[in-house]
């Protein structure tokens, strides 16, 4: 029997079907092409929309765009420039500031930003802000003088208050009668942008706020932020043109970014360190922490993993911030024998520990495994717990961690902010000596001059280093990749940048 | 049995199968050692968080109740909400579908082309050097991990020529097409060896057949014989192979998406796994299982048209 | 029955085909390298030295060092001790369970057959390796989870094979003969039927091991398999990929190790199959 050939009509139908299938495949919209739109690829989402919760660098890029502040951070001394407050006067006799607000400031619904809103925002921040309330501790009263004038009275001399204002976000008075959850679910913006869409952990879009007082100088119509966790995937997105700004370029990938597109923040006001849980074994023991510290070969890590891209370990307070001085007591040397001896002397000579890490802010696969190996060499049994940043942060906030390897970037331009932050956030979480820390902070706040502030900082650094309270490794730089045509991108050593200064010109 | 009865029977068989698939997808959550809610929240989650997760996933109800709820919701296109992004799972799947469909379609076409060409070449040269060489290559092809093939293509093709993106999905239709070439080739290299083995064997048997001998005797050219007589058999073998191989194909697709950083379903699955986002893992697993089931079904129905004998069996 | 034995004896006299001999040599080389290699190589596979990371091949480090400064050759060889035993085990348990279920289904038929066949259909309705991936994830990454998950999905192939073979064999003359002598069914199944189904099962097992080693390495590549710092080929490829431009061998070599092993075992399986059939 002869077999029939495939009927002709049948073959034809197959071709048509295949073509139809191909044509119906959705074609992804090309996001970054539209003019006035900037697309950012970043490793983590904001930790929360609420400006009162614990804060990360992502928050510090997004929040100031949505919520205006009295002053803006600046590279130049004293570290801040006029923002919503166009000017201010300080009266040293009464320790009070009088701020003059921009007359044309308005929320994204068009209603004016008034002195009452600012007074409310100041007191709300002092009361609720996890990160920044310490910086407002010296504020005793805030009152509206008239619609556009605010008077703030301080308890006494205060070296932290003004730079703290960089992080006092202006919300409508009483959040328009809503509770915080409801308000931040649909926030009313006072900054250069308003929230357009947000899928937590995935993407966020901002649109230009036409009512912002300086809207004429906002360079972008729209900002799309994509959360792309993987180092490889983020590089891919940049190389294929899906994103214009590629945050947190892995050090081993720098060669793959054309030199003209590299933006290296050097030094970055960042400390890479091992944050130990000093409440529970093994790191409740100073011997175990000493072993941890002596087990880390900081010079090797700096030389091999961050070649020419780091500042050698200086302290917990970062270089690149005004007032950072190194400790002059104790030691952060690497010495395996000392490490082994200290571990043998600790209550848990063969500790099994979990090393938590998220691949963000200078932490990558190679660094984590290098640290893991160095700790193993000293006798620690180390299991890795690698996840996304907000997961790890959640675990740490609940106290369920042994040691967290993280690159902590300051949010201010002087040591003051981080100083207060260690006291308010890391210290209580890690079980640090809060009395010693508070003493040093107090001394810093009231110091009459730079030398006095320096002494206070040194007290703190010495205390950290002598008791191995936390184990710094170094101060790696931050690398961004910026697509051609993106103009006005400028970072502080904190790595924060203002989106409203950026424009695209393709 | 008539063809329509056969098709009806196959359709009806699919229903208990899908019900079973959903049981297994639900069970995923329950094979987690210890408390699944605790596992999702992480060891560090507070008791309230864990309780909330348990509530959300319906873990405090009986398995049967959970199952009925899951099936009921799934029928209405609701596969739950990501524990991480709070985004509906169906929405995530919708967003991620395009690169995966591109990869599967292009990869499948390329696999079939490659498999047909190699099989014909091998079968025509049976027991000659070309056949042995191709046979050897097939065995090697079976032993190469797909992601590694992809990386080697990057090394040997993309980097020296600069003609293809190293990774990502490109932009616009032509960008996608260009970005999908190497992933699809990787796919074909991983998938075609199994097809080649089956197809070559079939062709060798057919070439021995009387009708081929006869056609040769009456002076028909080899390509005419191939087109007229063998294509139907070859198509049947290929359809069967696609049906049998669709499971491995999906896995290969996941791995290739990771290798080339294609933002498809596979990448979403791997990310969801890393974040212990169970509803997304379950949703994507269910989607792929349904896809497999329908490919099996489609292949059987297709075969019943091309080869009516299968209906009788 | 006599005829079959005679036939086997004749087969025994035939030399193994070239394919099988090449395959056997490769397999033996891997096993020997896995056993003795780590003893002969002077390096600790997990000992990092980041100051000497990413070094090219030299006469100290024959294949250079990896991204953490570990001796790359040592890790390639030590990984044999990880990938091979896990793959052999991950195919072994499904073989035992699948063959038993398939044999029962094929020999007793009826309800047993229905239950086993429907269960097999269900597993096969899944994209099996994706299912394996999510199962390993649910159970927690690691070798044990992999073996358990592999058993859950891979028994099906063995069951189908055994069922078919047993159905074919049980109607053969020598089985009927055994039945006439009054041997219990259970004994006939285990002593007369199963041993004859065994060669095909073993051949299938070998190709299954090839699949398992590929799947294991794929899972490790995706980050769900063997965890660092353990040397494993798939993980090594993933960690080598970022250095493709400058250190291509870091990603290439582990893949070659996988490919040659898989090719060797496939050739052995093919060769044995030819040998048994001829």
Tell me if A111 sits within 8 A of A446, measured CB to CB: no
- A327-362: per-residue pLDDT in tens? 888 889 999 999 999 999 999 999 999 999 999 999
Of C46, C50, C241, the CB nearest to A305: C50
Strands A270-276 and A403-409: antiparallel
Asked whether the beta carbons of residue A236 and residue B231 sit closer than 8 angstroms, the reply is no
Question: How large is the average pLDDT for residues A131-140?
Answer: 84
Tell me the C-alpha to C-alpha distance, in Å, between residue C121 and each of A171, B9, B16, B24, C99. 60, 15, 11, 13, 16
CATH assignment at residue C149: 1.10.3720.10
Q: How far is B130 from chain A (nearest CA, A)?
A: 28
| DSSP characters over A245-291 | EE-S--GGGGGGS-GGGEEEESS-SEEEEEEE-TTSTTTTSHHHHHH
Selected residue of C68, C231, C232 to mutate for chain A interface (largest A Cβ count, 10 A): C68
Q: How far is B21 from chain C (nearest CA, A)?
A: 7
Q: How many C-beta neighbours within 10 Å does residue A200 have?
A: 17
Of A252, A297, A304, the CB nearest to C242: A252
Spell out which residues of chain B touch residue C126, defining contact as CB-CB under 8 Å: 21, 24, 247, 285, 288-289, 292
Tell me if B199 sits within 8 A of B272, measured CB to CB: no
Selected residue of A252, A334, A377, A380 to mutate for chain C interface (largest C Cβ count, 10 A): A252
Domain ranges of chain A: 31-48+191-266+479-504, 68-182, 268-476
Of C227, C243, C246, the CB nearest to A384: C227
Spell out which residues of chain C touch residue A250, defining contact as CB-CB under 8 Å: 242
Give the range among A76-90, B17-31, B112-126, C219-233 with minimum mean pLDDT: B17-31
Angle between helices B89-124 and B129-142 (to 10 degrees): 160
Determine the Cα–Cα distance for residues B254 and B281; give it in Å rounded to an integer.
13
pLDDT of residue A10 exceeding 50, the answer is no
Q: What is the pTM of this model?
A: 0.87
Tell me if C39 sits within 8 A of C28, measured CB to CB: no
Chains that touch C (3 or more CB pairs under 8 A): A, B
Question: How large is the average pLDDT for residues B114-122?
Answer: 94
Give the range among A315-329, C99-113, C248-262 with minimum mean pLDDT: A315-329
- A27-71: per-residue pLDDT in tens? 333 344 446 899 999 998 898 899 998 778 899 899 999 999 999
Question: How large is the average pLDDT for residues C234-254?
Answer: 94
What pLDDT sits at residue A34?
44
The proportion of chain C whose per-residue pLDDT surpasses 90, expressed as a percent, equals 68
Residue scoring higher pLDDT (B140 or A10) = B140
Tell me the C-alpha to C-alpha distance, in Å, between residue A204 and each of A212, A225, A426, B85, C12. 20, 5, 28, 11, 71
Instruction: Share the mean pLDDT of chain B.
Output: 86
- B199-249: per-residue pLDDT in tens? 999 888 887 876 677 777 777 777 777 777 778 888 888 898 999 889 899
Q: How confident is residue C13, by pLDDT bands cut at 50, 70 and 90?
A: low
Of A202, A230, A242, the CB nearest to B87: A202
Asked whether the beta carbons of residue B29 and residue C131 sit closer than 8 angstroms, the reply is no
3-class state of residue B127 by DSSP: coil
What pLDDT sits at residue B34?
67
Determine the Cα–Cα distance for residues B164 and B172; give it in Å rounded to an integer.
15
- A148-189: per-residue pLDDT in tens? 999 999 998 887 899 889 999 999 999 999 988 899 989 999
- Which DSSP letter does residue A71 get? E
Determine the Cα–Cα distance for residues A19 and A330; give it in Å rounded to an integer.
72
Q: Which residues pair with A471 in a beta bridge?
A: A274
Tell me: domain A31-48+191-266+479-504, CATH 3.40.190.10, correct? yes
Angle between helices B3-30 and C128-139 (to 10 degrees): 20
Asked whether the beta carbons of residue B255 and residue C221 sit closer than 8 angstroms, the reply is yes
Minimum CA–CA partner of B245 in chain C = C127
Give domain status of residue C194, yes or no: yes
Tell me if A457 sits within 8 A of A163, measured CB to CB: no
Of A199, A230, A236, the CB nearest to B85: A199
What pLDDT sits at residue C10?
56
What pLDDT sits at residue A32?
40
What pLDDT sits at residue A23?
40
Quickly count helices (H) and strands (E) in chain A: 15, 21
Of C47, C51, C68, the CB nearest to A369: C68
Q: How far is A120 from chain C (nearest CA, A)?
A: 48
pLDDT of residue A2 exceeding 50, the answer is no
What pLDDT sits at residue A254?
94
Burial class (CB in 10 A: 0-12, 13-18, 19+), B307: middle
- A432-471: per-residue pLDDT in tens? 999 999 899 889 888 888 899 999 999 999 999 999 999 9
What pLDDT sits at residue B313?
54
Q: How confident is residue A7, by pLDDT bands cut at 50, 70 and 90?
A: very low
Minimum CA–CA partner of A24 in chain B = B98
Question: How large is the average pLDDT for residues B285-305?
Answer: 91
Tell me if B229 sits within 8 A of B220, measured CB to CB: no
Q: Find all residues with CB under 8 Å of C47, minimum gap 6, and list them.
A: A373, A377, C70, C71
Tell me if C261 sits within 8 A of C30, measured CB to CB: yes
Peptide bond into C229 cis (omega under 30): yes
Give domain status of residue C186, yes or no: yes
Beta strand spans in B88-172 (E): none
What pLDDT sits at residue B304?
85
Strands A486-487 and A381-386: unpaired
Spell out which residues of chain A touch residue B86, defining contact as CB-CB under 8 Å: 199-201
Selected residue of A240, A359, A393, A398 to mutate for chain B interface (largest B Cβ count, 10 A): A240
Question: CA C167, C169, C170, C173 torsion: positive or negative?
Answer: positive
Q: How confident is residue B291, by pLDDT bands cut at 50, 70 and 90?
A: very high
Selected residue of B38, B261, B275, B306 to mutate for chain A interface (largest A Cβ count, 10 A): B261
pLDDT of residue A8 exceeding 50, the answer is no
Q: Which residues pair with A227 in a beta bridge?
A: A42
Tell me the C-alpha to C-alpha distance, in Å, between residue A55 and each of A58, A425, A495, B105, B126. 8, 10, 14, 45, 70
CATH fourth-level superfamily of A68-182:
Dipeptide-binding Protein; Domain 1 (3.90.76.10)
Determine the Cα–Cα distance for residues A362 and A475; give it in Å rounded to an integer.
9
Chain A within 8 Å of B38 (Cβ-Cβ)?
no
Strands A245-246 and A37-42: parallel
CATH T-level topology, domain B93-312:
MetI-like fold (1.10.3720)
Element (H, E) at A146: strand A139-146
**ipTM computed for the complex:** 0.90
- The CATH class for the domain spanning A268-476 reads alpha beta
Question: How large is the average pLDDT for residues A272-290?
Answer: 96
Asked whether the beta carbons of residue C252 and residue B246 sit closer than 8 angstroms, the reply is no
Tell me the C-alpha to C-alpha distance, in Å, between residue A242 and each of A28, A231, A234, C216. 11, 15, 9, 33
Of A5, A391, A396, the CB nearest to B227: A5
Spell out which residues of chain B touch residue A396, defining contact as CB-CB under 8 Å: 44
Chains that touch B (3 or more CB pairs under 8 A): A, C
Q: How far is C228 from chain A (nearest CA, A)?
A: 8
Determine the Cα–Cα distance for residues A62 and A46; give it in Å rounded to an integer.
7
* Ramachandran class of B251: left when φ > 0, alpha when ψ lies in -120 to 50, beta otherwise: alpha
Determine the Cα–Cα distance for residues A246 and A263; give it in Å rounded to an integer.
10
Q: Find all residues with CB under 8 Å of C50, minimum gap 6, and list them.
A: A297, A300, A301, A304, A305, A370, C68, C69
Question: How large is the average pLDDT for residues A75-93?
Answer: 90
* Ramachandran class of B3: left when φ > 0, alpha when ψ lies in -120 to 50, beta otherwise: alpha
Tell me if A471 sits within 8 A of A273, measured CB to CB: yes
Question: How large is the average pLDDT for residues A396-421?
Answer: 86
Selected residue of B82, B85, B175 to mutate for chain A interface (largest A Cβ count, 10 A): B85
Which domain does C238 fall in, by range?
Answer: 64-277
pLDDT of residue C2 exceeding 60, the answer is no
Q: How confident is residue B312, by pLDDT bands cut at 50, 70 and 90?
A: low
Of B143, B246, B269, the CB nearest to C263: B143
Domain ranges of chain B: 3-75, 93-312
Question: How large is the average pLDDT for residues B273-288?
Answer: 90
What pLDDT sits at residue C206?
95
What pLDDT sits at residue A95?
93
Q: Which residues of A68-88 are buried (b: 16+ CB within 10 A; e: fewer)?
A: bbbbbbeeeeebbeebbbeeb
What pLDDT sits at residue A18?
42
- C170-229: per-residue pLDDT in tens? 888 888 888 888 888 888 888 888 888 888 999 999 999 999 999 999 999 998 899 989
Residue scoring higher pLDDT (A88 or B29) = A88
Chains that touch A (3 or more CB pairs under 8 A): B, C
* Ramachandran class of C98: left when φ > 0, alpha when ψ lies in -120 to 50, beta otherwise: alpha
Give domain status of residue C136, yes or no: yes
- Which DSSP letter does residue A173 get? G
- C96-142: per-residue pLDDT in tens? 999 999 999 998 888 999 999 999 988 888 888 998 999 998 888 88
Element (H, E) at A82: strand A80-82
Give domain status of residue C191, yes or no: yes
Q: How far is B228 from chain A (nearest CA, A)?
A: 5
Q: How confident is residue A229, by pLDDT bands cut at 50, 70 and 90?
A: confident
Per the structure, how many domains does chain C have? 1
């Amino acid at each position: 029997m002869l077999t029939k050939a495939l009927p002709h009509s049948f073959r034809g139908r197959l071709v048509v079907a295949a073509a139809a299938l191909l044509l119906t495949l959705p074609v992804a919209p090309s996001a970054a092409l539209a003019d006035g739109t900037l697309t950012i690829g970043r490793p983590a989402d904001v930790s929360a929309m609420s400006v009162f919760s614990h804060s990360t660098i992502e928050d510090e890029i997004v929040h100031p765009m949505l919520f205006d502040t009295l002053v803006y951070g600046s590279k130049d001394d004293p570290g801040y420039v006029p923002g919503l407050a166009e000017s201010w006067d300080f009266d040293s006799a009464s320790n009070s500031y009088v701020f003059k607000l921009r007359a044309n400031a308005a929320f994204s619904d068009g209603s004016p930003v008034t002195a009452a809103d600012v007074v409310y925002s100041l007191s709300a921040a002092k009361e609720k802000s996890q990160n920044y309330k310490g910086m407002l501790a010296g504020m005793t009263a805030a009152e509206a003088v008239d619609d556009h004038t605010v008077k703030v009275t301080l308890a006494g001399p205060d070296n932290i208050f003004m730079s703290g204002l960089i992080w006092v976000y202006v919300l409508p008075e009483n959040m328009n009668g809503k509770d915080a959850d409801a308000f931040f679910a649909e926030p009313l913006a006072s900054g250069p942008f308003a929230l357009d869409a947000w899928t937590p952990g995935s993407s966020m879009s901002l649109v230009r706020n036409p009512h912002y007082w300086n809207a004429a100088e906002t360079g972008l119509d729209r900002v799309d932020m994509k959360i792309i966790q993987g180092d490889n995937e983020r590089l891919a997105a940049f190389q294929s043109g899906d994103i214009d700004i590629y945050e947190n370029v892995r050090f081993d990938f720098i060669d793959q970014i054309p030199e003209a597109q590299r933006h290296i923040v050097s030094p970055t006001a960042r400390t890479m360190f091992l944050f130990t849980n000093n409440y529970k074994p093994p790191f409740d023991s100073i011997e175990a922490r000493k072993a941890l510290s002596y087990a880390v070969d900081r010079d090797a890590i700096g030389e091999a993993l961050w070649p020419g891209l780091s500042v050698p370990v200086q302290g917990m307070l970062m270089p690149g911030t005004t007032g950072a001085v190194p400790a002059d007591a104790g030691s952060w040397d690497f010495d395996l024998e000392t490490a082994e001896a200290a571990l043998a002397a600790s209550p848990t000579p063969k500790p099994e520990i979990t090393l938590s890490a998220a691949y963000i802010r200078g932490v990558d696969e190679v660094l984590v495994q290098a640290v893991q190996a160095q700790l193993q060499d000293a006798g620690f049994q180390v299991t890795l717990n690698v996840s996304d940043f907000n997961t790890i942060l959640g675990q740490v906030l609940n106290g369920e961690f042994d040691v967290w390897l993280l690159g902590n970037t300051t949010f201010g331009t002087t040591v003051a902010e981080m100083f207060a932050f260690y006291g308010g956030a890391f210290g209580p979480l890690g079980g640090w000596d809060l009395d010693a820390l508070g003493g040093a902070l107090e001394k810093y706040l009231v110091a009459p001059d730079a030398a006095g502030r320096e002494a206070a900082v040194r007290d703190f650094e010495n205390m950290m280093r002598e008791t191995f309270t936390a184990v710094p490794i170094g101060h790696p730089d931050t690398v961004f990749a910026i697509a051609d045509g993106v103009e006005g991108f400028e970072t502080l050593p904190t790595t924060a940048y203002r989106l409203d200064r950026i424009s695209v010109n393709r | 049995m008539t063809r329509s009865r056969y098709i009806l029977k196959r359709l009806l068989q699919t229903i208990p199968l899908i019900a079973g698939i959903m049981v297994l997808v639900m069970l995923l959550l329950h094979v987690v050692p210890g408390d699944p809610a605790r596992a999702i929240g992480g060891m560090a989650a507070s008791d309230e968080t864990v309780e909330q997760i348990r509530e959300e996933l319906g873990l405090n109800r009986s398995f049967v109740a959970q199952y009925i709820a899951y099936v009921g919701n799934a029928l209405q296109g609701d596969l739950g909400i990501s524990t991480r992004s709070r985004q509906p799972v169906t929405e995530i799947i919708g967003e991620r579908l395009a690169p995966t469909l591109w990869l599967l379609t292009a990869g499948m076409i390329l696999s079939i082309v490659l498999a047909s060409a190699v099989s014909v070449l091998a079968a025509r040269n049976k027991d000659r050097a070309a056949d042995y060489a191709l046979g050897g290559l097939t065995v090697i092809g079976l032993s190469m991990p797909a992601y590694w093939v992809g990386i080697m293509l990057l090394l040997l093709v993309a980097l020296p020529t600069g003609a293809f993106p190293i990774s990502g999905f490109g932009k616009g239709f032509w960008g996608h097409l260009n970005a999908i070439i190497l992933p699809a080739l990787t796919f074909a290299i991983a998938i075609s060896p199994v097809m080649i083995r089956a197809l070559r064997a079939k062709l060798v048997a057919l070439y021995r057949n009387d009708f081929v001998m006869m056609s040769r005797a009456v002076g028909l050219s080899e390509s005419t014989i191939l087109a007229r007589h063998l294509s139907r058999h070859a198509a049947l073998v290929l359809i069967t192979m696609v049906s049998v191989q669709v499971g491995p194909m999906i896995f290969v697709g996941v791995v290739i998406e990771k290798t080339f950083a294609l933002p498809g379903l596979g990448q979403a699955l791997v990310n969801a796994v890393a974040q212990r986002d169970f509803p997304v893992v379950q949703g994507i697993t269910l989607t792929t299982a349904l896809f497999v089931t329908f490919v099996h079904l489609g292949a059987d129905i297709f075969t019943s048209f091309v080869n009516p004998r299968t209906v009788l069996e | 029955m006599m005829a079959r034995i005679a036939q086997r004896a004749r087969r025994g006299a035939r030399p193994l085909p070239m394919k099988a001999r090449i395959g056997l040599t490769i397999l033996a080389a891997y096993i020997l390298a896995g056993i003795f290699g780590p003893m002969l190589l002077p390096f600790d596979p997990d000992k990092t030295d980041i100051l000497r990371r990413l070094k090219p091949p030299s006469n100290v480090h024959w294949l250079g060092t990896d991204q953490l400064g570990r001796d790359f050759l040592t890790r390639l060889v030590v990984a044999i001790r990880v990938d091979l035993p896990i793959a052999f085990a991950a195919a072994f348990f499904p073989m035992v369970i699948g063959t038993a279920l398939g044999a029962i289904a094929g020999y007793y038929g009826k309800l047993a057959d229905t239950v086993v066949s429907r269960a097999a259909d269900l597993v096969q309705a899944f994209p099996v390796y994706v299912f394996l991936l999510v199962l390993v994830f649910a159970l927690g990454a690691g070798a044990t989870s992999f073996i358990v998950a592999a058993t859950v999905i891979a028994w099906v192939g063995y069951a189908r094979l055994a069922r078919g073979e047993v159905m074919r064999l049980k109607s053969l003359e020598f089985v009927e003969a055994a039945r006439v002598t009054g041997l219990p069914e259970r004994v006939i199944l285990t002593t007369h039927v199963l041993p004859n189904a065994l060669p095909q099962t073993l051949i299938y097992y070998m190709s299954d091991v090839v699949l398992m080693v590929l799947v294991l390495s794929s899972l490790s590549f995706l980050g769900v398999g063997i965890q660092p710092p353990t040397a494993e080929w798939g993980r090594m490829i993933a960690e080598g990929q970022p250095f493709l431009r400058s250190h291509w061998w870091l990603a290439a070599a582990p893949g070659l190790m996988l490919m040659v092993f898989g090719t060797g075992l496939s050739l052995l399986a093919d060769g044995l199959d030819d040998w048994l059939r001829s």
